[in-house]
Structure formats: structure tokens, C-alpha cells
Amino acid sequence: MMIPAIPSRIWSFRPTPVHAPVLSPHLMMCTSGWHRPTRSLIQSQLPTSPHVHRSGSGQLYRRTAEWLSSSVSCITARTVFSEALESPSLIANKTKILNLSKTGWSLVGIVICTIANVLYAYRINRTREIGLTSALDRGSVPDILSVEQLVDRKGITPAIRAILQPSCDYSFYDMIVGNHGTGKTTLVRQVGHQLPGVIYVDVTPASQSDKGFAETLANRCNWFPPSRSPFHTLLSWLNIAVMEVPDGREQLVKVWTEFGNQAAKFKKENARSAVLILDNINRLAENNPALLNMLQDLAKDAADQQLFTTVFVTSEGRAPIQMLSRSAASRLGMVLVINDLNEEEAIGYLCNQKGTSTTVAWEIFRLVGGRVGFLKKAAGRYNAAVGLDDLKAEFLMEARSAFRKAGIEDGGEFEDVGIQLAKHILENGSITRKKFYCIAGGRVQGDHLLNADVFSTLPRSGLILFASTPVEIMAKELVLERKN
């Protein structure tokens, strides 16, 4: 191994009594950390003249240090590396400060992982809380699809607005009831879309189960489970379960509780209560009545604590009857019934928004009444060159199908009972619930008839009517057929 010669200009020669090579203190300091073979090799290359001594200038020391750095460092690295291959313990001896035991390294790893998990969980949970808060601040009520769907309901719109803007001390849950096609969902979305602090949940066929409803509510609230580990999150992205998954009702309680906490913050900041709208709960009454009971109990508890207001939106029939018959109905506040349009509203809607003539509008109104859905369908069919006679045949066919489904027509199980009930309503305009169940033969038979889209009940009134104008026309025909 060859070392470049040290330039002679960095040494000065003059007589000196010292007869041994003298290495400068700066040079000794630079080489003190090297291993012994390297130091010996360097010293063997230094001049050995008895007249050599170190110069006192700073420039001399600096040049010496630069030469040593450029020339000796490569030799040192090669020598250390070659010796490390022969003796693996050399690096450990030279890095004693990092020479921890296995237990020490384990403790360091645990500390680092713990700090990383805490920071990750804080970040994710902070993002989660921001999402929950933003859902309330912005509201999650979807807007109506088209302005053409709007029907001016001067008496109904202010009432819905009052329900969706409860005061801070309001301690009840409310209900909005209307038959299919009365426009209750459109009105609720039209008003609720304009208001912050309103969360909207639509009960679809996919969300009728406990788990499906809990997931739907969680999505509307921007809710997801608190995170404690990035490893668990990574596995969840891969659809790998690393912990016990809660059932639907347990998850529902967690989401409901978290929504209550955020609603309390919203109430404190905005001086009014948040609102949770549950639309189409009649589907729960038909397919999952136990879940509807649970939701009613949770709504009552939230009202007792004045956390937020729950608004149930449903069609007439089994859902209002089920809810009004339970003890939780003690916290039921306002029940808003959305009826059909009156004559003036229906004619104005057909003429102004659907472009029909006044004569045709009156004919359509006599056929389908003031049901918004029926009016819209009839006007669309008429504008598509379908005559009034054909329109009447279509709507009466649908009404007859409802009677057949209920078992009232064509020798069905409830034909005699159904005709008797229809005759009573035609003669008196309505029938009490008590008499209805009495004629039907019991609670089970009466509930079956109420869920067949033939009869409908008005909440808290105790009266039962025909479900629609086409059904009433068909009932008259069936009663006349029975007489003949």
C-alpha cells in the first residue's frame, strides 16, 4: 500500500537538539482515532531528519490536515473494511454507543411504534371528528331533482320548516304522514336542503336490515369507527377482519351516540337543535318492525335529553299505528298530515305546470283526485296522446289490483268483509278504527287490510278512509256489482 509523499514545503528544517521525529499536535489529534496499523504506516512515511521540526504557522497545520484527510482517509476505510470482514466485532467495538442489546433494541422499537400509533390515531380521529361536524354544519338533505316537481303548498311548507327548525328546549320527536304520492318527501327535501344542522336518511330496500340501516346512517353522518392502529386500517382496506365486527344494532347505537354528541355541540354553537330525518319508515314497519321500535325508543331518549329532534316521515298505514300504540309515543310531538291537493291547487298545478286545458284538468281531477303523484302521471299520459277514457281504465285497473291483493275481489278471503267495510265508508264518509277491526274480525285481519293500499288511517284521529280517489271509484263499482 503506497502513501503519497508529504510535500516538503509543509516542513521546515533547521538545527534542533531533538533527535527524534516530532509529529505536530494537530496531526496527532487527527490520527489519534485511527487504529494502530494505520498510525504506524503514516509515521513511517514522515521525514526522520534530526533537523525536522514543526512550523508554527497556522497555514502549515491546515495544509497538513488537508493532506491527511485526502490521502489517509481512503487507506483507513479500506483497512477497517478488510479487517471487519475478518473480525465482525470490529464495527461493534468502534460504535459502542449503538451497541445495544436485543432487549434494548426491542424497547426502542416499541417506543417508536407506540408514538407512531398515537400520532396516527390522533390524526385519523381528528379527521373523523371534522367530518362529523361538517355533516351537521352543511346538512345532508339532498335537493329535489327538478323544479318542475315543486307544488305550491302554502299551508304545508311553513309547517315543515317549523318542524325542521326546533328550539333549543324542544323535547319531542315529530312525525310527517302522507299517503304515497302526496309529495311529502319532495316537500321535506325542498325545505330541509336549505337548512344546516339537518341530516336526512332514506330507508331504501337495501337499508331495511339492522346493519344496512346503521351503515346508511353512518354514511349520511360521515361517521366511521375510531382508529387506533394504521395496521388495522391497512387490513380493513384489504377487507381482512382483524377484530370482532359489531352487529348491526351495536353499530347503530355507536353511530346514534356519536351523532348525539355532535348535535350537542351544534346546539351550543347555533342556539337551536339539530334534526335527524328518517324517511320511508313504513318500509321498516312492514319488513323490520323491531328496528322501528328501537328507533322510536332512541328518538324518545334523545328527546328526553334534548340532544336533537328526530322526524319520522311515513305513509299512512301500519307505521303510524305501530308507533302510536307504544309507550314511547308519550314523547311524540307534532304529527303533520300531508293531504291531497284541493280542487284549486290541483287545477292550478295541471294548468300552470303541466300545460293542460281547464276542461281536461277538471276531468283528471275527478278521476284521480288531488294526489300529486296521480296528477303528474295522468297529465304525462294525456300529453302523450292517451285519451281520458283510456286514462280512466288504467287507474281503475290499478285500483282493482289493490282490491285483489287485499283478497277483497274475485272470491278472495276478505271479499265479504271488504265489501261491508267499503259500503260503510261510502255511506258515512269514514269508519272508526274500533268498528273497522270489529268488522274485519280482529287485529290481524284489520292490519292486513290496512296494508293493502285500499284503506288508510289518519293518525290520532281514529278514522279510516279510502286510500285514494281511484280506489273509492272502484269500491262503488264493487258494491254495485254485489247488489246486482
Q: Which residue has the higher pLDDT, 176 or 27?
A: 176
Q: Which residue has the higher pLDDT, 247 or 390?
A: 390
Burial letters 414-436, b for 16+ CB under 10 A, else e: bbebbbebbbbbeeeeebebeeb
Phi–psi pair at 244, nearest 5 degrees: -65, 125
- Assessment of whether the complete model's pTM goes beyond 0.85: no
Burial letters 327-362, b for 16+ CB under 10 A, else e: ebbebbeebbbbebbeeebbbebbbebbebeeebbb
Of 156-160, 234-238, 248-252, give the range with the top mean pLDDT: 156-160
Q: How many CA atoms lie within 13 A of 80 on its CB side?
A: 17
- What percent of the chain stands above pLDDT 90? 35
pLDDT of residue 88: 52
Weakest-pLDDT range from 45-49, 77-81, 391-395: 45-49
pLDDT tens digits, residue range 334-390?
999 998 998 998 999 999 888 899 999 999 999 999 999 999 999 989 888 788 899
Residue 187 pLDDT exceeds 80 = yes
pLDDT of residue 331: 94
Q: Which residue has the higher pLDDT, 10 or 270?
A: 270
For the residues 243-261, what does the mean pLDDT come to?
Answer: 79
The one-character DSSP state at 106 is H
The one-character DSSP state at 222 is T
Neighbours of 288 (CB within 10 A): 20
Question: Of all residues in the chain, what percent are helix, strand and coil, respectively (each to 5)?
Answer: 60, 10, 30
* Cα distance between residue 447 and residue 435, in whole Å: 13
Sheet holding 431-432, edge to edge: 431-432, 463-466, 455-457
DSSP 3-state of 212: helix
pLDDT of residue 52: 42
Q: What is the mean pLDDT of the chain?
A: 77
Residue 453 gets the label, from left (phi > 0), alpha (psi -120 to 50) or beta, of left
pLDDT of residue 29: 42
pLDDT of residue 384: 84
Q: Which residue has the higher pLDDT, 303 or 18?
A: 303
pLDDT tens digits, residue range 292-338?
999 999 999 999 999 999 999 998 888 998 999 899 999 999 999 99
134 confidence band (pLDDT: 50, 70, 90) = low
Residue 127 pLDDT exceeds 70 = no
Q: How many CA atoms lie within 13 A of 426 on its CB side?
A: 17
Residue 44 gets the label, from left (phi > 0), alpha (psi -120 to 50) or beta, of alpha
pLDDT of residue 375: 93
pLDDT of residue 121: 61
49 confidence band (pLDDT: 50, 70, 90) = very low
For the residues 455-470, what does the mean pLDDT come to?
Answer: 87
The C-alpha angle with vertex 234 and arms to 230 and 238, in degrees rounded to 5, equals 165
Residue 438 pLDDT exceeds 90 = yes
pLDDT tens digits, residue range 416-436?
999 999 999 999 999 998 999
Cβ 456 vs Cβ 450: under 8 Å: yes
The C-alpha angle with vertex 352 and arms to 349 and 354, in degrees rounded to 5, equals 75
